[in-house]
Amino acid sequence: MKIPVGISSCLLGEKVRYDGGHKNDAYINGTLSEYFEFKPFCPEMAIGLGVPRKTIRLVQVDEEVRCMGSDADAVDVTDKLSQCASEQKSWQQQLCGYIFKKDSPSCGMERVKVFINGQPHKKGSGIYARTTMENFPWLPVEEEGRLGDPRLRENFIQRVYILYRWYQLMAEGMTVHKLGHFHSRHKLILMSHSQTGCQTLGQLVAGVTKDSLAEDADRYLLSMMSTLKKIATRPNHVNVLQHIQGYLKKNLDTDDKAELSEVIRRYADEELPLIVPVTLLRHHFRKSPDEYIANSYYMAPHPQELKLLNLL
């Protein structure tokens, strides 16, 4: 089953832009379409602006950022775009991620031009995107331009898969035991993003009771997704790899231990990508299985065919 992900319609090749064009993205339509079921939406079309149409832009009016026409007739569509986003909540709540169109005054996630006294400043967010992110603060969001960065791409896709697994768990029926098991399976991933964040989540899980489960599960989701937004660092990955290596200390001979340590060192020194120590660890655990490591998602956070660890 493909994972439902929202997306700006123009990125799928739909001719909905102001000039009647599109911004078809090859990576999204090629690679990601194999795994994600995209749900396209264009808020500017939804509020009746039509194609072709006059351009709109973000303008600071007093202390507020408004979305207005860029010509002398300057129509204000701020409230329409915000209301439009809130009206989509019924289908958006099924999403496990959202890919927005960069630089768009309606759909840009960040660094959208805001005109102040006629001068552009890259400090805004598109009105539709901003409202959607406010409505669903745990939802993984990204822009198509930023997906070209290997670390940002892996971070976004990893979060999409984790939220998908969370929704599956909620559909099955959350229990105290299942929440603890979920955390255990994702603990090493969380450690790679933030050891402090992982510890905080562990403490939250340890204090969950049957009576507090519903509230604590909501708190866990928000805290988990906030922790995962932090890009995993190489030093944190090294710490996790060495932690995993400890589960093999009784199973490896001297040469294998030395080889594994050397590979992890070379990864730490940026001589090798993350996939190399991960592949070597997988090899050793096939020979010496460990239940905790087998259940962990750290070494298989998303389909291997995406090759997301190859450039980290």
Q: Are the CB atoms for 197 and 223 separated by under 8 Å?
A: yes
Q: What is the pLDDT of residues 144-187, one digit of tens each?
A: 999 999 999 999 999 999 999 999 999 999 999 999 999 999 99
Q: What is the pLDDT of residues 252-274, one digit of tens each?
A: 999 999 999 999 999 999 999 99
Residues 106 and 181 placed together within one structural domain of the fold = no
Residues 195 and 62 placed together within one structural domain of the fold = no
Residues 140 and 216 placed together within one structural domain of the fold = no
Query: What gap in Å lies between CA 100 and CA 102, rounded to an integer?
Result: 6
Residues 174 and 310 placed together within one structural domain of the fold = yes
Could you tell me which residues are beta bridge partners of residue 240?
none
Tell me: cis bond preceding 52? Omega within 30 of 0 counts. yes
The pLDDT of residue 114: 96
Q: What is the pLDDT of residues 13-56, one digit of tens each?
A: 999 998 888 999 999 999 999 999 999 999 999 999 989 998 99
Domain limit, last residue, from 148, 176, 206: 148
The pLDDT of residue 225: 98
Which domain covers residue 213, as residue numbers?
149-312
Listed residue (40, 1, 4, 27) closest to 163, CA to CA: 4
Count of structural domains, the chain: 2
Query: What gap in Å lies between CA 96 and CA 110, rounded to an integer?
Result: 20
Query: What gap in Å lies between CA 256 and CA 287, rounded to an integer?
Result: 12
Query: What gap in Å lies between CA 22 and CA 40, rounded to an integer?
Result: 13
Q: pTM score, two decimals?
A: 0.95
Domain limit, last residue, from 148, 163, 179: 148
What's the angle, vertex CA 82, arms to CA 78 and CA 5, rounded to 5?
A: 130
Listed residue (232, 212, 215) closest to 223, CA to CA: 215
Residues 108 and 169 placed together within one structural domain of the fold = no
The pLDDT of residue 73: 63
The pLDDT of residue 10: 97
Residues 11 and 114 placed together within one structural domain of the fold = yes
Residues 27 and 108 placed together within one structural domain of the fold = yes
Residues 312 and 222 placed together within one structural domain of the fold = yes
Domain limit, last residue, from 124, 148, 172: 148
Cβ count within 10 A of residue 50: 11
pLDDT more than 90, % of the chain: 94
